[in-house]
Structure 1
Amino acid sequence: MPDGSDSNTVPAMNSLTDGKYTDTRRKMLDLVNRLQSNGASLDLDLPQIAVIGNQSAGKSSLIESISGTVLVPIVVALSLLICIVALRFIEHEDGTAINPVRNVPFGAVMLDKAEVEQRLRRAQLAILQPSKNSNEYLDMSDDELSDVEQSGFSRNYISLQITGPDVPDLSFVDLPGIIASVKDASSRGDIDLVKRMVADHISRPSCIILLTVSCETDFENQGAYQLATEYDPDGIRTVGVLTKIDRIGEGDSAKWIKMLDGSEQRLLHGWYGVKQLNTVELDERLPREEARAREAKFFSSTKPWSNLIELKTRFGTPCLTKKLSEVLTALIAKRLPELQNEVTKLLAATETALQQLPPPPSEDPISELLGLIGGFSRTIATNVQGTPEVDGLYQSIREEYQVFRRAIRSTAPDFRPFPRRDKDESSFLNPDFVPADEHIEKSLSAPIYVDEVMEQASKSITRELPDNFPYVVTHEFITAIVKHWDQPAKALFIAVERKFSARVRVMMKDFFEQHNAGGLDQAVLSAVTKLLSQCREAAQQQLQWLLQVERDPFTLNDHYYAEYKRKYFGLYKLARQKKEHPLLMSSPVPTTTSNLIDTVRMLNAAGLQCTKDDLPNLLKPDPMDYALRIMAEVRAYYHVAYKRYADNIPLAIDHEYLRGFEHGIEKCLHECLGVSSTEARTKASRFLREADDVTARREDLLTRLERLEKANRELSDLWL
């Protein structure tokens, strides 16, 4: 709880001296005062003086001596002054920040010093409850004030501005004093809280620490010094003040003198000794001039102080005030150019942070929502159509298409034109006449030998004429191939669905994630999930239909089928005639060898126009020719069917799933989000409601921007 009699006090920029400033210095002091009032200290390290010390260290009396204003009850009016008390709120009762900082005037301007103490007492109560009307405390009686609960502390503080003909301009904030111990165990947390509040000020590099040490208490027991050295270990920013110097016991002055002459606890700006009025002198209600005269007489006539001629500039409030003025003025002159640069950088950073926030809610929510739906739908269409990026949607799907084609090719029947007993391991899966990009890497089919085909054909004969075999054999072989095509098709669709849905989720996040506060992202997710499910079902039905139609062999691609049939028949027959006609075959799998070429040339020269593929027709009949023709038919039809199926499945997935989603998403979102309903505006406003944290962040940045812009104008106008 703020306490005027035991408070750490942080004066804002003020003269702190009886000397006269130049106009420029006066402008600088006033400028920093205005920056403090505008809340610029939240963003900038503004020059200030923090008076710290333990409870009962004489801080209030020190402030009275410097300002000439008595902060204890007095009866008679003294010289004319103008005093303004304001409450500066920076946080709510729950500790959350208040933006912007509120500077609330507390009562009317005072012209009588006798009013100050009572006003401060009421302000110390009001500052703890920012949610209440502070004027209520101005109207309370003394009894009512006594009944107000005064527990706890606050980072909010009181601003006291004093101006008068016999006092320097002064502005300071009232903070609680450092506590050594508490009686109530429930209040132990207040010790650390007060230390944190004091540390918040003195940790700033531009804060001059006015360290108040009472000479009637052992120095080692005064925690204020330890706190000061923690944040200013080299003593560069600290000015030490020994208070209650008149209460030093006889023979106990040596340790304090060592501090004054710099032998111990050395500080860059040194230590000063002051003497405040005692109780009797306070009752005499001495004017400020008389109080200072008595202080000066004490140091000039009281030993050992009167004997320390070399330290006479270290005694008395005027010497302390003069030193503070010098240090403060130098700090302000140094900091102002730096502050201008800091404000410029902070303005740029704040504007960048604002630009990175989502746009604020539109005043036309329906148009904004339609824009989001349209933008999302167009992005879907662009991705489905295909983009040139290496990691584009279609690029990743094409990889799955190639995997699918290889899987279908691997179902090719592995016909062998030899009897099983020969144990010939020659492969006929990739003959020369099949393009290299259609070669089979690994076949799922077990070897099927010619004698096995002949045996199956023979067993299938019913009423056929001699040398005729039923079509059912060819049909069975083809059906056995097609039954393996279902799984690759399903695997392809699962892979495409996984990649497409993942890409859709990314696009949804880009467009709608920022609108999660109003539930728009979830509403869109529900609509997208529903449409994807519908497209999935349509695609799966189409895939099943394509598989069904492939189970009944059919083609109008007669030329392609006949060409492959002729080539495979020749391939198989040549392989079987190898032993009888070695000139026609130099390896188990026929290749374009010089022997074959020479043979074809000789036949052409004799008037028989042919190619190497026609050579098997010149060979004598083979008892296995019927089986070889079945093998050739099946293998030829495989080429026709597999290419057709390998194209149709991706086309079906593209049309029913990808294109289906592309064509249906905009209408689906319109219906699910109700943008055409009678309650469209209400729904759109709810969907586009901004998240509370984003709103708070924007308000915080805008408030900060306003503070910085004001500070920038103030700093720029200083030199005009």
Structure 2
Amino acid sequence: MYLTDDKQSTYGKCLRWLNDHLSSCDIQNYIDTPTISIIGSQSTGKSSVLEALSGIAFPRASGTCTRCPTEVRLFNASEEWSCVVTLRIDRDASNQPLEKPSIVKFGPALTKSDEVQERIKAAQRAILNPDKDPLSFIGSKVEADQAPENQISFSENTICLDIRGKELIDLSLVDLPGIIATTGGAEDDQSVDLIKELVKKRISKPGCLILMTITMTDDYQNQIGVKFAQDADPKYQRTLGVLTKPDIVQQDDLSEWTKVVEGKKFPLLHGYYVLKNPSSAQLKKEGYSHKNARDDEKGYFKKEPWHSLNAGTKQRLGSKQLGKQLEKLLEKLIQDKLPQTIETVRKLSAETNEELFHLPKEVPEAAAIQHLHMLLQKLSADVKATLRGDEKPEVFALPLKLLAILFRQKIYKSRPFFQPFTKDEQTMKGIKIKIGDDVEDLFDDEELASDYKAASESKPEDEDGKLNKWIKKGEIYKMQVPQYNLDLSTIQNILNDCALERLPGNISWEIKERMMKKAVKFLPDFSSNLLKDTIGLLKSTVKLVTNQHLDSFSNSLLCGRVTEILLNLIDEEGDKCSMILDAINNCEMEYIYSMNEHYYCDKVKFYCERTLEKRQQELPLSKPDPNSFQGVIQHVQAQAATQKGAENDVDISVSQQIQIASEIRAYWQVAFKRFTDYVRLVIQIKLIKPIGELCLDRLCESMGVYGNITSAKAHALLREADEVRFKRADLQLRKQRLDKASAYIEKFQNGDFEDM
């Protein structure tokens, strides 16, 4: 075996040492470590290439073609020849990633190269029968020409061969399963697809040098391996071609292939190499060794047309030249990617540690009760802070503010509207009254109008409109605002229809009281709807905060149990708050009263003056010429009105009716101000505040944390969701691999190569 290259640098050996150890950490899914992957369709001579480079025979019998990747690591070492076979198992029987991959040492080290072939066969059967003990296949043999029956037909699990010897080169290669063009059934079709996906995945990585095997017995462009290499490396920057079976090609056809070797056809950056491997007859010859095969190869390339090639092209003939070139290319690839590899390992290690830090900690059963208590404390504190608006104001504080604004707006729209005219006067003068929100509000003063404008224009920051969408689903937003419209005729009709006896020119308090109660009769509906919307907001907030704290326990009873307890607490406190609001509503409905006399009297005076001013604008007091047409008409109309008034016993002056309307509106304004404040304060103090204060005690009492809960039950409540458990296991495995890789990088940087 003369493939050794004594000129390889010590630094190159160190680079190879680091790359092999990084690969052994199984970090290929996270980091693109430099590799050489051999690809090609079946029967292109992939196994022969490996045999020429490694000096060992690979399985060739029926049913033993490569059905899983085989990684061959060659080490030029001072000790005697040895081969250690291991299985890297990271996929299950369904070819899905395992939660905990493993590396299985497959039997003792081999000291004879002719023993390796059977060990490889056994290793492949072990991988293709994942439900059986892998070591049970060691020593078992399959008769020649007998295809073994396996549980699966293909696997991504890898057979690893670590071969050490004095006459070996330093090289690592991965033999990928041969790409199959035709199949014999549905199961084979599935295996073919899996093999193609595996090949594409491996050779698409920038750190992979593609060793493309091409049989010279078939047309170049018809070979599947060529198509795969072109797709993965369209600029041919990391592909090296190996031409096999030149001794089978007709002499006349060799001239076309020599053009390929010379780079005149289908050029590649790294060019092509030609290997001549033993024929079937030579392999069957007893005593035919690897050295015999290499000597025959050397003798073959002394013949034509190879002998006539220029000196540079001759350096591409034979397995020794290929091995030396692959060794150099791998060393350069490792060296070029080393800084990026080290940086990626460090970056991924930091990110992995960060993700693990933010995952909920695993809770042992002995500490389950204490951990449950701490969890409930954090949850309760977050609920309290959210309800106060200290945390996440967009969740509760801003929607509540918007509800309060809408509550005030809706009540304000229910204010009494008054027109200081009779219906006849409106008809005579063409004064139009619009029913609803468009009725002219003569009783608006600057103070209340300013309050309404501020409330109407106040909009909390909500760029995506989620708050407004939520508010529009509530009872306050959907409720219809009742209207209380008054004019002189309406007031007069109320007085005429009243059965209470009164002195001429006087209005009894009972009549005014009835009209004032009618003005405020809908206030309870507003408070009731505000309470319903606030309870709904509280429940959605509690659910959100609970899910944020307990989402990692979503497949246990904990999240649902905590949510149920808090929703029950909200319902209980909501019932208590409702009783207090009922009392306030009853006070407004049953008793017309205010100690705010100064404010009330000022408003009555203000409204009287403003209303009379409006009436004067529409009906001037100056009398027209009685001899004019207009004067005659007004005189007739006045007589008719007097006659009609006498019939209806109208003994209340216009100024008295305006006084009544002003008192009704002034009282409504007094009620409006105190009612909106009281309702909002009651909801805040008797509903929202108790939820935050009682949250922790209620949770601990209901869940038995203060009493009889057992560690086992608490531990069951804290059982993690599957996705969290799987994520932790994946991160821990990644951390373990990256930590191991980091340790090797540190050894490399410190020059510590004790096992090189």
Find the residue that maps to 2:213 and give its secondary structure: strand
CA distance in 2 between partners of 1:443 and 1:702 (Å): 64
Q: In the alignment, does 2:102 pair up with 1:102? A: yes
Of the three residues 365, 371, 378, the one matched with 2:374 is 371
Report matched runs for 1:342-357 at 5 Å: 342-357=344-359
Structure 1 residues 444 and 83, CA, compared in 2 at 3 Å: closer, same or farther? Answer: same
Find the residue that maps to 1:102 and give its secondary structure: strand
Which residue matches 1:55?
42
Counterpart amino acid of 1:44?
A: I
**CA contact under 8 A between 2:3 and 2:320: conserved in structure 1?**
no
257-266 or 329-338, which moves further after superposition? 329-338
Which residue matches 1:496?
534
Structure 1 residues 474 and 568, CA, compared in 2 at 3 Å: closer, same or farther? Answer: farther
CA distance in 1 between partners of 2:317 and 2:100 (Å): 43
Structure 1 residues 130 and 37, CA, compared in 2 at 3 Å: closer, same or farther? Answer: farther
Report matched runs for 1:135-150 at 5 Å: 135-140=135-140, 142=142, 148-149=149-150
Deviation at 1:107, TM superposition (A): 0.9
Find the residue that maps to 2:371 and give its secondary structure: helix
Counterpart amino acid of 1:524?
A: V
Deviation at 1:137, TM superposition (A): 0.7
Deviation at 1:135, TM superposition (A): 0.9
CA distance in 2 between partners of 1:268 and 1:101 (Å): 37
Deviation at 1:464, TM superposition (A): 5.3
Counterpart amino acid of 2:240?
A: V
TM-score (norm 1): 0.82
**CA contact under 8 A between 2:359 and 2:728: conserved in structure 1?**
yes
Report matched runs for 1:4-153 at 5 Å: 17-71=4-58, 81-140=81-140, 142=142, 148-149=149-150, 151-153=152-154
CA distance in 2 between partners of 1:170 and 1:308 (Å): 28
Which residue matches 2:465?
none
The sequence identity of aligned pairs, in percent, is 28
Counterpart amino acid of 2:224?
A: G
Counterpart amino acid of 1:481?
A: A
Structure 1 residues 251 and 553, CA, compared in 2 at 3 Å: closer, same or farther? Answer: same
TM-score (norm 2): 0.78
Which residue matches 1:256?
257
CA distance in 1 between partners of 2:615 and 2:330 (Å): 112
Q: In the alignment, does 2:671 pair up with 1:641? A: yes
Deviation at 1:365, TM superposition (A): 2.4
Counterpart amino acid of 1:241?
A: V
Deviation at 1:313, TM superposition (A): 1.8
Report matched runs for 1:486-635 at 5 Å: 486-555=524-593, 557=595, 559-560=597-598, 563-564=601-602, 567=605, 571=609, 623=653, 627=657, 630-631=660-661, 633-635=663-665
Counterpart amino acid of 1:294?
A: D
Q: In the alignment, does 2:745 pair up with 1:715? A: yes
Task: Point out where structure 1 has 5 or more consecutive residues left out of the alignment.
Answer: 1-14, 585-620
Which residue matches 1:165?
166
Deviations 1:246-279 (A, max 9, x none): 1111311122111111111111222122211223
Deviation at 1:189, TM superposition (A): 2.4
Which residue matches 2:717?
687
Find the residue that maps to 2:253 and give its secondary structure: coil
CA distance in 2 between partners of 1:80 and 1:625 (Å): 124
Which residue matches 1:444?
483
537-546 or 126-135, which moves further after superposition? 537-546
CA distance in 1 between partners of 2:325 and 2:399 (Å): 75
Q: In the alignment, does 2:417 pair up with 1:430? A: no
CA distance in 2 between partners of 1:533 and 1:513 (Å): 24
Which residue matches 1:602?
none
**CA contact under 8 A between 1:159 and 1:171: conserved in structure 2?**
no
Deviation at 1:155, TM superposition (A): 0.4
Deviation at 1:437, TM superposition (A): 4.1
Deviation at 1:664, TM superposition (A): 3.5
Deviations 1:272-295 (A, max 9, x none): 222112234331423444432222
Of the three residues 320, 323, 327, the one matched with 1:321 is 323
Task: Point out where structure 2 has 5 or more consecutive residues left out of the alignment.
Answer: 62-78, 434-439, 457-480, 623-650, 751-756
Find the residue that maps to 1:41 and give its secondary structure: coil
Deviation at 1:634, TM superposition (A): 3.6
CA distance in 1 between partners of 2:615 and 2:652 (Å): 9
**CA contact under 8 A between 1:48 and 1:206: conserved in structure 2?**
yes
Deviation at 1:195, TM superposition (A): 1.9
Report matched runs for 1:286-325 at 5 Å: 286-300=288-302, 302-310=303-311, 311-325=313-327
CA distance in 2 between partners of 1:96 and 1:241 (Å): 33
106-115 or 538-547, which moves further after superposition? 538-547
Which residue matches 1:403?
406
Deviations 1:462-504 (A, max 9, x none): 5656665443212221221122223322333344334333333
Of the three residues 669, 686, 703, the one matched with 2:733 is 703
Counterpart amino acid of 1:343?
A: V
**CA contact under 8 A between 1:86 and 1:104: conserved in structure 2?**
yes
Report matched runs for 1:197-346 at 5 Å: 197-282=198-283, 283-300=285-302, 302-310=303-311, 311-346=313-348
**CA contact under 8 A between 1:214 and 1:242: conserved in structure 2?**
yes
Structure 1 residues 384 and 174, CA, compared in 2 at 3 Å: closer, same or farther? Answer: closer
Counterpart amino acid of 2:515?
A: F
Which residue matches 1:155?
156
**CA contact under 8 A between 1:161 and 1:171: conserved in structure 2?**
no
**CA contact under 8 A between 1:523 and 1:672: conserved in structure 2?**
no
Find the residue that maps to 1:208 and give its secondary structure: strand
**CA contact under 8 A between 2:209 and 2:238: conserved in structure 1?**
yes
487-496 or 270-279, which moves further after superposition? 487-496
Find the residue that maps to 2:243 and give its secondary structure: strand
How large is the RMSD of aligned CA atoms in angstroms? 3.6
**CA contact under 8 A between 1:673 and 1:683: conserved in structure 2?**
no
Counterpart amino acid of 2:128?
A: L
CA distance in 2 between partners of 1:149 and 1:578 (Å): 107
Find the residue that maps to 2:95 and give its secondary structure: coil
Deviation at 1:104, TM superposition (A): 1.0
Structure 1 residues 648 and 173, CA, compared in 2 at 3 Å: closer, same or farther? Answer: same
Deviations 1:526-560 (A, max 9, x none): 22322233333333343333322322234351733
Find the residue that maps to 1:251 and give its secondary structure: helix
CA distance in 2 between partners of 1:101 and 1:577 (Å): 93
Deviations 1:566-623 (A, max 9, x none): 62696389669969x9999xxxxxxxxxxxxxxxxxxxxxxxxxxxxxxxxxxxx985
CA distance in 1 between partners of 2:541 and 2:122 (Å): 63
Structure 1 residues 347 and 479, CA, compared in 2 at 3 Å: closer, same or farther? Answer: same
Deviations 1:57-109 (A, max 9, x none): 222222222222233699xxxx9621111111121112221355422111111
Counterpart amino acid of 1:499?
A: L
CA distance in 2 between partners of 1:299 and 1:628 (Å): 124
**CA contact under 8 A between 2:171 and 2:330: conserved in structure 1?**
no
Which residue matches 1:652?
682
Deviation at 1:428, TM superposition (A): 7.5
Paired positions, count: 663
Counterpart amino acid of 2:272?
A: W
